[in-house]
Amino acid sequence: MSTAYPLPTNLSTTTVTNTASLLRIVALGLISAAAIASRLFAVINFESIIHEFDPWFNYRATRVLASQGFYEFWNWFDPTAWYPLGRVVGGTVYPGLMATSGVIYNFLHAFHLPVDIRNICVLLAPGFSALTAWATYMFTKEMKDESAGLLAAAFIGIVPGYISRSVAGSYDNEAIAIFLLMFTFYCWIKALKTGSALFGTLAAVFYFYMVAAWGGYAFITNMIPVHALTLMLMGRFSSRLYVAYCSWYAIGTLSSMQVPFVGFQPVRTSEHMGALGVFGLLQIVAFAQLARSHLSSKQFQNLLTVSVVAMGVVGTFGFIALTYMGWIAPWTGRFYSLWDTGYAKKYIPIIASVSEHQPTAWPSFFMDLQLLIFLFPAGVILCFRELRDEHVFVIIYSVVASYFAGVMVRLMLTLTPVVCVSSAVAFSSLIDTYLDPTQPEGEEESEADSSNGTNTAATPSKKEKAKKPAASTSALNDIVTAATSQSSSKSKSKGIWGLDTRLIVIVNAIGMLSFFVFHCTWVTANAYSSPSVVLASTNPDGSQHIIDDFREAYYWLRQNTPQDAVVMSWWDYGYQIAGMADRPTLVDNNTWNNSKSHIATVGKAMSSSEEVAYPILRKHDVDYVLVIFGGLLGYSGDDINKFLWMVRIAQGVWPDEIQEPNYFTPQGEYRVDDRASSAMKNSLMYKMSYYRFAELFGGNNAMDRVRQQTMPKVGPTLDYLDEAFTSENWIVRIYQVRKEDLLGRDLKSANAFAQGKKKKKSKPVSRRKAIPV
């Protein structure tokens, strides 16, 4: 047989297999290292710090878990959150993340390795990303072969779509959830392929772990049933499917109900009904199969028609009836917002106000996936070519996840794994085709090209390449053709001719891979590695300037206020205040809470005038109010820009008192300068943001750099609050709520008196009429 380049012939099959598996292990190791390393930008550029908002709660909870043990954590009632409602943390949290860190912590300490819990939390996500790479490898291996698996592992290791949620310090549920997602899917595919109850059970165990770790477990809960249902509709029902699904569903559902936060949801809510329905359908189909083997076909046809109709009717009506009777909770708002992107804005402004719940912008697909987004459809089409059971899974997964990723930014995360998998399938098919040394008949010998594998940059693709020639150096019948057996056997007359053709495509492909690596590195370093607690800017000379206002302010609170001083802020900062300042907060990021009216209360206080807000503040024992103001520095994520959400949320509860149009100018503009509406100018938020702002400019026109508007020369005055602290760049401003006046006056007149203004003379309240005699 002629080959495009010479192959060594004196190697035994065992040697090739062993070398290949050794190289695979080395490659996986390097991929893991790259995955971990690229996530450490945040630590190197800033420091080992917990990022953003939610991770601060997870970190705080983990500290409780590590110091007091699991049972205390389970029973932890946090009196400082949602003051004064408190939060039953054990019953309102997915404990998987904290439990994982706690286990690692205790494990290390059992070996007398005194690792700080903070470092475990910071580095947990990078560590699990290595595991994700491995899980993706296993999953893709089931789809195609090991080489595709390695490619997929390399992709998921460095793809920005996943890094965005798993850089060091991003200590969030997603950090471990993607690994669990991929591994559960792998176990499911394995169980389905082999019909093994063991793998079905394993899938259930990892499903349980997933349930304990992330609210997104509902994705698995619905993906697997949809897959099973599709297979049944395709007429692919088999005992393997039956065993795999039933073992997964029974064990998975029972164990998921052990998580306190989930409780009876798997049997009570609509989101879980699909899985239950498919479970029931499987039993019926299995029974039908059994009946078919025992009955004549005529009888069976009748039985089938009748039973299918009866079951369908009974099932549907039963579901509707149970929903109406309240046994099954209807779909939640977050679910509706998946189908109607305008739903949340209309009915649940809190959900809509979260930026990661917004629909995805198109550029972010390229930003997060780059090359893979082009390879992705190719991989899906390749899946259609073979269309084994597991390929159906990938196809369904791609369709569903693509839709969801388009609807919500944060669901980009669930799309990323399948993009990596199917891109890897596509890319490895390409490489398989063009590296396959088999020449079509009559092809002349071409010179050896062993430099293929060495001329690439130090990238994951190199590992892939390094393995590939080695695998194909001999015994191609064993390895290469095993994967592409059909094509290679048929490629006698049709195929790739010549080395030059091969080289053009291969070099191109390698070039694309290297650009991908550069892109990933750049995006990771520049876009996703900012802790958002600490901001960085660049000095004119190019050096980095750290803006540390948040921590400055939180530590001020920690050092200068009583332990039980209640701090009110918009909910975004609740977890950070609790974590860094250790003070009770009125509202925090745990917005699923049933106390939405509590958030609305804060919104109302912020958007009302001082006189209206003051009784609210006093009722909730608020001592300090914290606002984020970016006008001086041009920090656009400040409270004035979020202000309309506060107004909207407050309007939802008090439509008579707060109306959104009042905060716009008559022309419908959102302005903060002279032309701002009076409701805007009198609102507590406006006053707190711009209090004494104009003085900073010493008589010149004060300029709000975020809104690009010139502020009036005379700023707002405050009667009910005192400025307590303003951070270096004015990003965080803290106000102290004044106590009631000593003499029972309202604070406005008390303030006027203290400033020496004369009080208007009042008249006695006459209870008697003067009747002239």
Residues that bind other proteins (CB under 8 A): 71, 74-75, 77, 79, 83-86, 88, 90-91, 260, 564, 584, 619-620, 740-745, 753-754, 756, 758-759, 761-768, 770, 772-773
Of residues 699 and 772, the one with the C-beta less far from other proteins: 772
Q: Of 149, 56, 208, whose CA–CA distance to 533 is shortest?
A: 56
CB of 627 to other proteins, least distance (A): 23
> Which residues have C-beta within 8 Å of that of residue 237, sequence separation ≥ 6?
231, 282, 285, 286, 289
Of residues 172 and 588, the one with the C-beta less far from other proteins: 588
Q: Of 166, 204, 83, whose CA–CA distance to 584 is shortest?
A: 83
CB of 189 to other proteins, least distance (A): 27
CB of 762 to other proteins, least distance (A): 5
> Which residues have C-beta within 8 Å of that of residue 166, sequence separation ≥ 6?
39, 125, 126, 128, 129, 174, 175, 178
Of residues 660 and 746, the one with the C-beta less far from other proteins: 746
Distance CA 127, CA 628 (A): 34
Q: Which residues of 450-481 are buried (b: 16+ CB within 10 A; e: fewer)?
A: eebbeebeebbbbbbbbbbbbbbbbbbeebbb
Please state the three-class secondary structure of 525-594 as a single string: HHCCCCCCCCEEEECCCCCEEEECHHHHHHHHHHHHCCCCCEEECCHHHHHHHHHHHCCCECCCCCCCCC
Of residues 542 and 744, the one with the C-beta less far from other proteins: 744
C-alpha radius of gyration, the chain, whole number: 31
Of residues 233 and 742, the one with the C-beta less far from other proteins: 742
CB of 16 to other proteins, least distance (A): 39
Residue 634 has what DSSP assignment?
T
Of residues 325 and 742, the one with the C-beta less far from other proteins: 742
What is the DSSP annotation of 252-291? Answer: HHHHHTTSTTTTTHHHHBGGGHHHHHHHHHHHHHHHHHHH
Q: Which tokens hold the place of 589?
A: 């990021």
CB of 769 to other proteins, least distance (A): 8
Residue 714 has what DSSP assignment?
S
CB of 260 to other proteins, least distance (A): 8
Q: Of 226, 141, 203, 163, whose CA–CA distance to 482 is shortest?
A: 141
Using DSSP's 3-state secondary structure scheme, residue 726 falls into strand
Of residues 85 and 308, the one with the C-beta less far from other proteins: 85
Q: Which tokens hold the place of 539?
A: 């000095």
CB of 84 to other proteins, least distance (A): 4
Of residues 262 and 395, the one with the C-beta less far from other proteins: 262
Q: Which tokens hold the place of 770?
A: 């003067």
Q: How many CB atoms lie under 10 A from the CB of residue 389?
A: 19
Which strand (E) or helix (H) includes residue 136?
Answer: helix 117-143
Of residues 110 and 773, the one with the C-beta less far from other proteins: 773
Q: Which tokens hold the place of 205?
A: 């165990």
CB of 765 to other proteins, least distance (A): 7
CB of 756 to other proteins, least distance (A): 7
Beta bridge partners of 547: 535
CB of 251 to other proteins, least distance (A): 15
CB of 621 to other proteins, least distance (A): 8
CB of 385 to other proteins, least distance (A): 37
Q: Which tokens hold the place of 683?
A: 């609102």
CB of 741 to other proteins, least distance (A): 8
Check: CB of residue 300 under 8 Å from CB of residue 287: no
CB of 20 to other proteins, least distance (A): 37
Which strand (E) or helix (H) includes residue 704?
Answer: strand 702-704
Of residues 430 and 612, the one with the C-beta less far from other proteins: 612
Q: Which tokens hold the place of 724?
A: 């307590």
Burial of 309 (0-12, 13-18, 19+ CB in 10 A): exposed
Distance CA 208, CA 221 (A): 11
CB of 389 to other proteins, least distance (A): 26
Of residues 74 and 664, the one with the C-beta less far from other proteins: 74
Of residues 91 and 634, the one with the C-beta less far from other proteins: 91
Of residues 79 and 359, the one with the C-beta less far from other proteins: 79
CB of 773 to other proteins, least distance (A): 7
CB of 86 to other proteins, least distance (A): 5
Q: How many CB atoms lie under 10 A from the CB of residue 661?
A: 11
3-state DSSP percent of the chain in helix, strand and coil, to 5:
60, 5, 35
Check: CB of residue 333 under 8 Å from CB of residue 347: yes
Burial of 336 (0-12, 13-18, 19+ CB in 10 A): middle
Q: How many CB atoms lie under 10 A from the CB of residue 355?
A: 11
Of residues 264 and 339, the one with the C-beta less far from other proteins: 264
CB of 446 to other proteins, least distance (A): 56
Q: Which tokens hold the place of 8?
A: 């060594």
Of residues 182 and 568, the one with the C-beta less far from other proteins: 568
Distance CA 703, CA 697 (A): 8
Of residues 542 and 772, the one with the C-beta less far from other proteins: 772
Of residues 298 and 759, the one with the C-beta less far from other proteins: 759
Of residues 660 and 741, the one with the C-beta less far from other proteins: 741
Give the E-state strand segments of 182-336 in sequence order.
none
- Residue 623: phi and psi, rounded to 5, are -105, -35
